[in-house]
Structure 1
Amino acid sequence: MKCVLVVDDDPGMLRILSTGLRAFDYVVVTAPDAGTALDMAARRSPEAVLLDLGLPDLDGVEVLRSLRAWSDVPIIVVSGRTSISAHIEALDAGADDFVNKPFAIDELVARLRAVLRRPTGTQPDNQVKIGVHTVDLGAYTISRTDRKPCEPVHLTRTEWRLLSMLLRNPDHLVPSRALLAEIWGPEHTDKTNYLRVYMASLRRKLEPAPSAPRHLITSPGIGYRFQP
């Protein structure tokens, strides 16, 4: 059964959506605010997200942008904001669909089935440049292009997984908890020291000045991003 994350600050709406979705054999996890939603998305890796925009701690559009920085999970906005501008803003931020409240549960589930049928993600170019290095994500090879013959760089399996997540989201902040959940599992999302150790290793291998990185950037307390 597919897992759906439902994000809404209204307990009554959470109950309605949870009951309705479970009747159609979905597994449902819920979040009443943005912080919990982002944490649950990293821990549970749901197959889809139903997202309200009027959250108490952060506007839902910002949650959309944060999720899209590291995830291609299908997202349906379920909101009482009915203006065209609200629809456009949410869709531009990365929503796959927009359903206004009040709604018919049958229609919502039909829209959910539709977004789940769509292929997710885009395939980036296999080859990515990091300074003088060329990274081939398909062949799992790295070479220095400023030397002849090209000199290979060797990464561990964990270093490859970490680097790949960053390279597949250029110029986007990837939250630490998302990296930890994907690589080490949801029970390790508080082990930020793991990331510090492996990022330091990647910088030693790939950055011209590891102490002043230009491509593998830290956002303290939040996450990391690849800057081409």
Structure 2
Amino acid sequence: MTVRVVVADDQAVVRAGFRTILESEPDVEVVGEAADGAEAVAVARRTRPDVVLVDVRMPRVDGIAATAELAGPGVVDPVAVLVVTTFDLDEYVFAALRAGASGFVLKDVEPDELVTAVRVVAAGEGLVSPGVTRRLIAEFARTRAPRPTGPLPELTERERQTWLLVARGLSNAEIAAELVLSPSTVKTHVGNLLAKLGCRDRVRAVVLAYERGVVLPGSRPGAGGGPTGP
């Protein structure tokens, strides 16, 4: 199955570089390019890609506003958005995640990591780049107090443990090793967890965990608070 991608960045050389990297893979096709957020939305609506790769800062309409139009709350047929960021733009990443982004990668991402990120997001799993996960999570929790919004759903003990590990940025394989489970079992637990939390991917589950105070920076499973039922 071919993953269809739209690349949005105001720098032509960056778009060309991403296109070259992505189209070197037999299962990835770049179906459009955009130089700003407004054009990204228009191209995405016309081509219906699997993933839109969006730079944060672009003229006219920035990447966050474009993300909200493509994947935000209330969008009937959302498109997966992968945001490109740099370490000095962390605050924009939080806004992008809230706007509906399915994940983010660094501007200087290695070619193989970029391709992996696109594939993961296209598969609907969502991605928090391992290279910046812990830094972003720590900053997110430091600057934003938990915001209770009603009771959490009933979770099994395994689902509770899985949520804490997902919030720490672990992949399914790493969670399987931590809990001594098979990857397929972990995938099932993650799927059940996301369904109960009402999150379409693990990125949303990470944000929710920190917004609700379920986990704190550097905490280990079982340390501090944990999700509870109503």
Q: TM-score, normalised by structure 2?
A: 0.49
Question: Normalising by the residue count of structure 1, what TM-score does the alignment of the two structures yield?
Answer: 0.49
